[in-house]
Structure 1
Amino acid sequence: MSTDTTSSRLEVNPQFAVLDSLRAIGALAVLTTHVAFQSGAYVRDGTWGAILSRLDVGVAIFFVLSGFLLSRPYFARRAATLPHPGTGRYYWKRLLRIYPVYIVTVVLALTLIPENDGLSVTAWVHTLTMTNIYSTTLLPQGLTQMWSLAVEVSFYAVLPLLMFLALGRRGALRPVRVTVLLAAMVALSCWWHLGLAATVDQHTDGTPAQWLPAYLSWFAVGIGLALAHVLDQTRERPPAVCRTLDHLAGSPGVCWTAVAGLMLVASTPLAGPTLLYAATDAESLTKHALYAVIGGLVVLTGIRAVPDSRYAHLMSAPLPRHIGHISYSVFCIHLPILYLVMQVTDYPLFGGHTWQIWCLTVVLSLAASEVLYRVVELPAMRLKNLRLRRSPRTPPTTPPTTKHRATNTA
């Protein structure tokens, strides 16, 4: 196969339909683990309760997805000898993607939930700017899930720097250089779990265990999958690791079976306590490593889904994909909805009724998220090209041989 033929296989902005459905799975996993906690299922339902407590793995899925979707355009454009994505436009799109729904959720939670009455102006400012994790150990009622969004935004902020370190200003895509960066990210993440976070904790009022360095390895998994995907499309003979990933992704049943096994391991004391007790450094790192592998396997099934396979058809169906489209709103609004469900039904905290609470929370969260998606998210994203004017000298965004398709929204 010639170099020109190989290059023609590269899609700079491909669509990964299955990833939309995987995002829905991640959001519903996070919702489910919060319902299980509120209903007391963690401690009442034995092994099943322990597994429910580990459905916070949905956060790992989100972080791997972000690492993949946001880094791949940099690798693809470098491989296609195109300029890297504009940093200003990138930040503007991230702002529009995250903040409108976040601000609506924060205002609703802080004004309607009685436990948040009397919060100071400073608390409002920290919450609206997603800086709570740097200034306090507690987040407002109905917003405790937002620590992970703060981590995500931190990753958004540093991604252009990470891509500069991985790619340099110009030149060919060099996998070894990218791999060194990924190894450094994983090393820092492990060091953070094994003592650095505790050291930093002595000098701050925040929660260093919830800062970006603790989760760099999850993002690194996504970035590594992005690199492998681009190499697979641009190399006549991709590296052995790319071929291995291709074979593995061709058997999604194997991937999901491995995920189930790893979830069972994660539900044991090896990964630390299921309740809000502090884990040891070793337990924290074990859980973190297990979640990194689980997130990578789940996302891999969507990146390299075999076209026309039963799995691809199932996971590309309109309903799960649409839930994926509104999943960010589900993530934001589900805790205020859960609070409302507990108040209206008068179910006692930790008093059971897990699946009744779950059904009500899912239905109301999906309904509220549909409204947020149509009234807030879509209008905001229509502004993504505001103040952007193409110069006559600006090169085309895709090479002539590249297919022109929509990109998944991270």
Structure 2
Amino acid sequence: MPKHSLEHMRKQTAPHTPGSEPPKQTWLSGLEGPRGIACLSVLLVHVSAHYAPNIVDTIRIDFLGQGLTFFFVLSGFLLYLPYVRKLFAHKTQPSTRRYFIARVRRIFPAYLFIFLVTNFILQASYVVNPVSVGWTTSDAGTGMITNPFHLLAQLTLTQSFFPSTLQTGLNPSWSLTVELTFYLLLPLMAMGTFWLSRKTSISTLRLALIAPAVLIVVGAVTTSVVIALQDANPQLTPLERFWGPNWIAVLSRSFLALADNFAMGMIAAVVYVAIGGGALKAWSTIRIQAALGVTVLVFLATALCCFVVAPRVMATPFAIASAALVLLIITPLARGEHSSIAAVTDWRPIKYVGTISLSIYLWHYPVMLLAERADIPVPATYFGVLWSFAALCGATIAIASLTYVVIERPAMRLWA
């Protein structure tokens, strides 16, 4: 669940025509707050599942776990945006070397620091898949990873590629493996797009939509395969199907199965740049935002319906709603206008949570396991969930703040 605050805080250029005044510059703001809310949503799900699974089963709070889908959509948007800008401006592809340096320094310093401390000092890593031992009100299955192969997988963020290491180490870090796969594939897709722009007469808009279209197909096909494999193996429990130490779970947690989430963010980047270039000129900004607001509500409702009747496909409509939400917040910025919504979503406390969300996301499970070892009593009630959530947030945000100042921020400034 990495963030890209340096990328999305870069200055944006409003549309202009030859002979007009120099374009206004605005900040692409308003996205850290929603990132923070998504992060806290994931924490609430994990706290509830750990201390009060009965409450999860009763009110199905696990829907909030779709905060991860929002992270994937946001990554697709922010990372594809520089490529789309260059493509629409008929310029060369952004530097792949600088891109990879930025991606490595964004994830690995914080991840490696937190993993090494958790594994070798706190000895609170999952050494086996928690589905095998149970992760409810227990630290069973945790300790220090010493197996050389397993350790290498953790250090390279490839643990989610193998059944024996899936969900081990910092178990929420499986999503970083998904992100890492996207990071590796994006420049290759962009390279193909820019090559087509030189060799064909396909319109820029259509060219920019080819890569996300391919990812949508990949995601749909892989999800269909996952569903077929799960149905063909009824001996697996619902948890084992998605999180257990088996190849079906590995495929379900892979980038291939989640590719369409990133694609929705990429499409949002294309729409954003197109609007900034003069698309939908006949529509006022308020009208565009109204249409986007309706889109958010419709697809959020669709995701909720899928959650009840077809949970294995709910991420796709939620991803569409997430992409529409991103555009709802920042569309005025594409036209050099002020975004009142961005001013609200970047409320300082929640914006700060979004800023340090990577460290929060990686630290919260070790902190929860340490609390478990300390035998801190947490009743399996609504009050118990709220109390433990507040306590976990306080402790994790404090530790994450220190990690951000000492590790994350200096790493992001390195080679900047």
Is the TM value for this pair above 0.5? yes
Aligned equivalents of 1:229 and 1:309: distance in 2?
Answer: 14
Counterpart check, 1:289 vs 2:277: no
**1:112-261 residue pairs with structure 2 within 5 A?**
112-113=122-123, 115-117=142-144, 119-136=146-163, 138-139=165-166, 143-168=170-195, 170-171=197-198, 174-195=204-225, 207-235=250-278, 237-238=279-280, 247-250=287-290, 254=294, 257-258=297-298, 261=301
Aligned equivalents of 2:252 and 2:79: distance in 1?
Answer: 24
Aligned equivalents of 1:252 and 1:347: distance in 2?
Answer: 45
Distance change (3 Å), C-alpha of 1:329 and 1:206: same
Cα shift at 1:84: 2.0
Check whether the contact 2:77–2:265 (CA below 8 A) recurs between aligned residues.
Answer: yes
> What residue in structure 2 maps to residue 44 of structure 1?
55
Aligned equivalents of 1:75 and 1:45: distance in 2?
Answer: 41
Question: Which secondary structure state, in structure 1, belongs to the residue aligned with residue 314 of structure 2?
Answer: helix
Percent identity over paired residues? 23
Check whether the contact 2:145–2:151 (CA below 8 A) recurs between aligned residues.
Answer: no
Distance change (3 Å), C-alpha of 1:308 and 1:78: closer
Distance change (3 Å), C-alpha of 1:299 and 1:161: same
Q: Larger relative CO (CA 8 A, sep 6+): 1 or 2? A: 1
Aligned equivalents of 1:177 and 1:135: distance in 2?
Answer: 35
Question: Which secondary structure state, in structure 2, belongs to the residue aligned with residue 83 of structure 1?
Answer: coil
Check whether the contact 1:116–1:140 (CA below 8 A) recurs between aligned residues.
Answer: no
Aligned equivalents of 1:170 and 1:252: distance in 2?
Answer: 29
**TM norm structure 1:** 0.78
Distance change (3 Å), C-alpha of 1:247 and 1:6: farther
Counterpart check, 1:26 vs 2:57: no
Aligned equivalents of 1:344 and 1:224: distance in 2?
Answer: 47
> What residue in structure 2 maps to residue 320 of structure 1?
350
> What residue in structure 2 maps to residue 363 of structure 1?
394
Aligned equivalents of 2:385 and 2:178: distance in 1?
Answer: 29
Cα shift at 1:207: 0.7
> What residue in structure 2 maps to residue 280 of structure 1?
none
> What residue in structure 1 maps to residue 405 of structure 2?
374
Counterpart check, 1:103 vs 2:112: yes
Distance change (3 Å), C-alpha of 1:79 and 1:10: farther
Match of 1:55 among 56, 59, 64: 64
Aligned equivalents of 1:27 and 1:313: distance in 2?
Answer: 19
Amino acid at match of 1:231: A
Cα shift at 1:150: 0.3
Q: How many residues align?
A: 364
Aligned equivalents of 1:47 and 1:32: distance in 2?
Answer: 15
Question: Which secondary structure state, in structure 2, belongs to the residue aligned with residue 163 of structure 1?
Answer: helix
Check whether the contact 1:305–1:311 (CA below 8 A) recurs between aligned residues.
Answer: no
Cα shift at 1:348: 6.4
Counterpart check, 1:72 vs 2:81: yes
> What residue in structure 2 maps to residue 270 of structure 1?
310
Cα shift at 1:195: 1.3
Aligned equivalents of 1:334 and 1:10: distance in 2?
Answer: 41
Of 142-151 and 250-259, the range deviating more from structure 2:
250-259
Aligned equivalents of 1:141 and 1:350: distance in 2?
Answer: 26
Check whether the contact 2:106–2:411 (CA below 8 A) recurs between aligned residues.
Answer: yes
> What residue in structure 1 maps to residue 132 of structure 2?
none
Cα shift at 1:97: 0.3
Check whether the contact 1:101–1:377 (CA below 8 A) recurs between aligned residues.
Answer: yes
Check whether the contact 1:135–1:205 (CA below 8 A) recurs between aligned residues.
Answer: no
Aligned equivalents of 2:48 and 2:284: distance in 1?
Answer: 37
Deviations 1:348-393 (A, max 9, x none): 69677211110111111111111111000111111133xxxxxxxx
**1:395-406 residue pairs with structure 2 within 5 A?**
none
Distance change (3 Å), C-alpha of 1:256 and 1:234: closer
Gaps of 5+ in 1: 272-283, 386-410
Aligned equivalents of 1:18 and 1:340: distance in 2?
Answer: 34
